[in-house]
């Protein structure tokens, strides 16, 4: 298991960090784990998580992959964006409280501009979900966001 605190690997904070641990990672993939706990931001009244939250769990695993790679190289963790998903499939409607879920994200494409595609699988007791995530991690994302905000402000002022 990786000992780096998740808060140092993900650009999320507090209750928005949904995964519990990075089990392993290498240049191509990451394995993460979580236990479904009641009382979170996305829990249903019975404490379970709706299956669609699986997309966010996969996305956070991909973000942790990027964070691990950055830390390993001595770089700062950068902000990334989930652009979309294809073929999300899940055999259950929700993930019950207490379920141990593992996520495996395998990089299938990454270019120099920060675009990437990951094949993701989420498994647990009687649970299997899969999706292909399209992500974007631009170089110097903070600068990218600043430029975007500045142009919007300028455009808005001219209207």
Question: Residue 114 above 90 pLDDT?
Answer: no
Among candidate residues 15, 24, 133, the one with its CA nearest the CA of residue 68 = 24
- List of residues 6+ apart from 41 with CB closer than 8 A: 15, 16
- Share of residues in the chain with pLDDT > 90 (%): 59
- Share of residues in the chain with pLDDT > 70 (%): 87
pTM to 2 decimals?
Answer: 0.86
Q: Dump pLDDT digits (tens) for 30-51.
A: 999 999 999 999 999 999 999 9
Q: How far apart are alpha carbons 54 and 95 in whole angstroms?
A: 9
Question: Residue 147 above 60 pLDDT?
Answer: no
Task: Please compute the mean of the pLDDT values over residues 118-127 and round it to a whole number.
Answer: 97
Q: Dump pLDDT digits (tens) for 52-82.
A: 999 999 999 999 999 999 899 888 888 888 9
DSSP reduced 3-state for 15: helix
**In order of start, what are the domains of the chain with their CATH numbers?**
6-158 (3.10.129.10)
Question: Residue 158 above 50 pLDDT?
Answer: no
Burial of 124 (0-12, 13-18, 19+ CB in 10 A): buried
Q: What is the mean pLDDT of the chain?
A: 87
């Amino acid at each position: 298991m990786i000992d780096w605190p998740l808060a140092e690997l993900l650009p999320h904070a507090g209750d928005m960090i949904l995964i519990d641990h990075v089990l392993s990672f290498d240049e191509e993939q990451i394995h993460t784990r979580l236990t479904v706990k009641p009382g979170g931001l996305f829990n249903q009244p019975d404490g379970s998580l709706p299956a669609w939250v699986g997309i966010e769990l996969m996305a956070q695993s991909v973000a942790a992959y990027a964070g691990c790679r950055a830390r390993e190289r001595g770089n700062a963790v950068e902000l990334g964006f989930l652009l979309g998903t294809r073929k999300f499939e899940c055999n259950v409607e929700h993930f019950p409280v207490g379920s141990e879920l593992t996520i495996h994200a395998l990089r299938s494409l990454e270019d120099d501009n920060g675009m990437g595609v990951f094949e993701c699988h989420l498994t647990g007791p009687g649970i299997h979900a899969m999706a292909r995530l399209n992500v974007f991690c631009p170089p110097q994302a903070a600068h990218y966001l600043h430029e975007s905000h500045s142009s919007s402000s300028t455009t808005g002022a001219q209207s």
